[in-house]
Amino acid sequence: MRDLTLLEKAVALFPKINEKEVSVSETVSITRDDSGINKAVQPDFRTRVLKKKDEVILDFGEHLVGYLTLELKNIGAHADAPVLLQIQFAEREIELFEDASTYNGWVSASWIQEELVKVDVVPSKLDLARRYAFRYVRIKVSDISSKFDLQIIDAKVRAVTSARDEDLLSCEIEDSLDNRIDTIAVNTLKDCMQTIFEDGPKRDRRLWIGDLRIQALANYVTYRMNDMVKACLYLFGALTQEDGRVGACIFLEPEPEVDDTFMYDYSLFFVSILRDYYKETGDMEAVKDLWNVCKRQIELAKEGLDEHCVVKDLDVLGWCFVDWNLELNKQAAAQGILLYALEAAIELAECAGDVLAEEEYAALYIKVRDGANRFLYDDKLGLYVSGSDRQISYASQVWMVLGGAVDGKAAERLLGKLEAYDAAVKMVTPYMYHNYIDALLKLGKKDEAHSLMRQYWGGMVENGADTFWELYNPENTDESPYGGTIVNSYCHAWSCGPAYFLRKFFK
Ligand code: RAM
C-alpha cells in the first residue's frame, strides 16, 4: 500500500548530504603472520612507479563513506593499451586477506567491495561512480603494457554523510575506554546517516527498522537530526505491504519502495520507535498521522497468537529476526517483543486520545503476559523456554524482561539463573547485546550493564575497530550468518548503541 500524503511528508524531510574532501593519510603495507596483522608505513604512493602486478595500499586514517578519484599518469611511452586496475576497498585490514573467488554464501557476492577497471586513456582522472565504505584502498596493476609504467599522482575521496560535525553534542567522558567507545559509536552512526538511516554503508545500504530503533536513540543524544527519524517513520508508514504490515526494510531507489520481507518483531518496532520519537520531540502531528499504522501492526501481531495468547512458533528462517544466531528459536523472544510493543502502544493510545484502543491493549497486555508465564516459563529451571524443544536462550529471557513479563527481584533472579546456565543459546550481534544491556538497565543494574558494554564493545576496540561491526562473537571472531565474512559489514548501525548508553546512563 502507498499513502502518498505520508510519502510526500517523508521526502520533504530528507536531509541534505554534506561532502568533505579527504586525502590519503599514509601509504602502508599490510601483512599477516602468526602474530596477527602487521601494518607498516611505506614510501608515499605518489612516488611509486608501478609495473604489472605492483600494488599500493592507501590508508585514509578513518572510516569513510564516499567516492574515490585517482589521478593517473603514464611514465615512458604513450599508453598503447588500457591499464587494468584491481581496486579493493576495506573497512578493516582483515578484508584485504579474503579471497572473493572462494565466497559462496547466500548473500550476493556483488556486495564485495572490489572493482576491475579498464582505463583506456592515461594520463587521466578516474572517478569511481559507486559509493564505497572503507578506510583502506588497495590498488593493484593487474595488467599494463610493457611500453609504459603507471604513476598515481593523487588520490582523493569525496566523503558523504548527512550528519554535521558542528551539530554533534559535546560530551565529557573521562574514562579513556568509554571515551574511545563513544567516539567509535558516534562515527558508526555518522557514516550510516545518509539520506535515510542506513543499516550499513557497505551492505545493505537501506533503511531497516531494527537498526532504526537503535540509531534513533543514539541520534537523540548526538546529532539530534530528529526530522530524519521522522522522515524514516513516515517512509515505513507510507509504504506498507498489501495487508498494511510495516515491512522489515525500505529501498530508496529508484523510487522509495517497501521490501517484500517482513519480520514479526520488526513490524512491531514501528510502534516503539514512534513512542520514543514522541517522547523526545512531543510531535503530536506524527502521532496523529501514524497512529493507524501502529494499530494495524498490533492487529496483525494478534493474528500470530494461539488461544492462550502465546505467539505461535514458526521454523521458517526470518519470520522473526531477534538475532543472527541461526540456532535460535524465536518464539519466546517474539512474545516478549509483543509485550514491549504493547506497552508503547498503550502510551501512544493515551496520547492520541484513543480510549478504546488504550483499554483493548491494556487487556491484551495482561493476557499476553499471562500466556508467557503460564506456557513459556519452566518452573523447575526458573527460565523462559522457547519452541517445541524448549530452548533456553539469552534472547528469550532478555525480551521477557524488556516486555515486563517478569520484573523486580524475580527478573533479577531470572538473569542470574541465565548467566549460570551454560547451555543457554548465546548472543552474536551488537544488536542483541544492546537489548541485554537495556534489560540490565531496566532492572537498575547499571554497573553490570556498564561493564558488559565495556567488555563487549571494548573487544571490538581491541581488535582495531574504527566503527562498530554488524557481528561480533567474542567466541568466534570469524562468524558470519551469510556464509563468509567477506560480506559482513563493519560499520553497522545497530552497534552504535553505546553512544546512547554512555551519554544517557553511564556518565
Ligand atoms: C541484516 C541487515 C540489517 C538487519 C537485518 C535483519 O542483513 O544488515 O542490519 O536489520 O539483517
- Other residues' Cβ atoms within 10 Å of the Cβ of residue 12: 10
Interatomic CA distance for residues 485 and 465, integer angstroms: 15
- Rounded Cα–Cα distance for residues 364 and 473 (Å): 37
Nearest CA, atom 6, ligand 1: 321
CA–CA separation, 295 and 345 (whole Å)? 8
pLDDT at position 346, please?
98
Cα of 323 to ligand 1 centre, how many Å?
9
φ/ψ of 263, rounded to 5, equals -135, 135
Closest ligand 1 atom, CA of 249?
10
List helix spans (H) across 389-496. Answer: 394-403, 408-420, 430-442, 446-462
Residue for cell digits 585490514?
93
Q: Of 172, 223, 225, 232, which is closest to residue 196 (Cα–Cα)?
A: 232
pLDDT value of position 317: 79
Cis peptide before 123 (omega within 30 of 0): yes
Which alpha helices (DSSP H) does 304-385 contain, by range?
331-352, 355-375
Question: Could you tell me the CA-to-CA distances from 43 to 25, 27, 40 in Å, in that order?
Answer: 12, 7, 10
pLDDT of residue 448: 98
CA of 226 to the centre of ligand 1 (A): 22
Q: Where are the beta strands (DSSP E) in 124-272?
A: 124-127, 132-143, 148-161, 207-208, 249-251, 257-258
- Whether the per-residue pLDDT at 316 is higher than 90: the answer is no
The overall pTM is greater than 0.85: yes
Which of 199, 264, 468 has most ligand 1 atoms within 8 Å of its beta carbon, as the pocket-test mutant?
199
Q: Which numbered atom of ligand 1 lies nearest the CA of 321?
A: 6
Q: Which three-class secondary structure state does DSSP give residue 15?
A: coil
Measuring CA to CA, which residue among 214, 308, 304, 309 is closest to residue 262? 304
Instruction: Name the residue of 189, 196, 208 to mutate for ligand 1: max ligand atoms within 8 A of Cβ.
Output: 208
Beta carbons within 8 Å of 481's beta carbon, 6+ residues apart = 324, 326, 428, 471
Relative orientation angle of helices 497-504 and 176-192, to the nearest 10 degrees: 130
Looking at the CA of residue 482, tell me the nearest atom of ligand 1.
Answer: 7
Residue type, 406: V
Average pLDDT score, the chain: 97
Report pLDDT for 404. Answer: 98
Q: 502: which 3 cell numbers?
A: 554512555
By the 8 A CB rule, do 112 and 487 touch? yes
Angle between helices 497-504 and 430-442 (to 10 degrees): 20
Compute the Cα dihedral for 126, 127, 128, 129 and give only its sign: negative
In this structure, what C-alpha cell is assigned to residue 220? 537523540
| C-beta of residue 80 within 8 angstroms of C-beta of residue 121 | no
pLDDT higher for 475 or 278? 278
Q: What is the pLDDT of residues 221-265, one digit of tens each?
A: 999 999 999 999 999 999 999 999 999 999 999 999 999 999 999
pLDDT in the model for residue 215: 98
Half-sphere CA count of 49, side-chain side, radius 13 A: 6
pLDDT exceeds cutoff 90 at 483: no
Instruction: Please report which confidence band the pLDDT of residue 129 belongs to, taking 50, 70 and 90 as the band edges.
Output: very high
Biggest CA–CA distance in the chain, Å, is: 82
Q: What gap in Å lies between CA 209 and CA 216, rounded to an integer?
A: 10
What's the pLDDT at 194? 98
Question: C-alpha distances in angstroms, 351 versus 175, 232, 287, 434, 477?
Answer: 40, 21, 8, 28, 45
Give 366's contacts (C-beta < 8 A, 6+ positions apart): none
Residue 129, burial from CB neighbour count under 10 angstroms (0-12, 13-18, 19+): exposed
> For the chain, what percent of residues have pLDDT higher than 70?
100
Ligand 1 pocket by Cβ (under 6 Å): 199-200, 204, 208, 210-211, 321, 494
Task: Give per-residue pLDDT as tens, 382-428.
Answer: 999 999 999 999 999 999 999 999 999 999 999 999 999 999 999 99
Ligand 1 centroid to residue 199 C-alpha, Å: 7
Give 100 Cα–ligand 1 centroid separation in angstroms.
21
- End-to-end Cα, the chain, rounded Å: 44
What was the pLDDT predicted at 125?
Answer: 98
**432, 470, 472: residue to mutate for ligand 1 pocket, most atoms within 8 A of CB:** 470
Residues 19 and 348: their CA atoms lie apart, in Å, by 38
Question: What is the arithmetic mean of pLDDT over 353-378?
Answer: 98
User: What atom of ligand 1 comes closest to residue 263's alpha carbon?
Assistant: 6
**What is the C-alpha separation between 435 and 61, in angstroms, rounded?**
31
Return phi, psi of residue 437, to 5°.
-60, -40
The single-letter code of the amino acid at 446 is: K
- Is 48's pLDDT higher than 90? yes
Distance CA 289, CA 322 (A): 28
Instruction: Find out whether 448 and 474 touch, Cβ atoms under 8 Å.
Output: no
CA distance 28 to 158: 21
The reported pLDDT for the residue numbered 476 is: 87
Helices (H) and strands (E) in the chain, counts: 13, 14
Cell of 346: 498503550
φ/ψ of 215, rounded to 5, equals: -60, -45
Asked whether the predicted pLDDT for residue 152 surpasses 90, the reply is yes
Query: Across-strand partners of 78?
Result: none
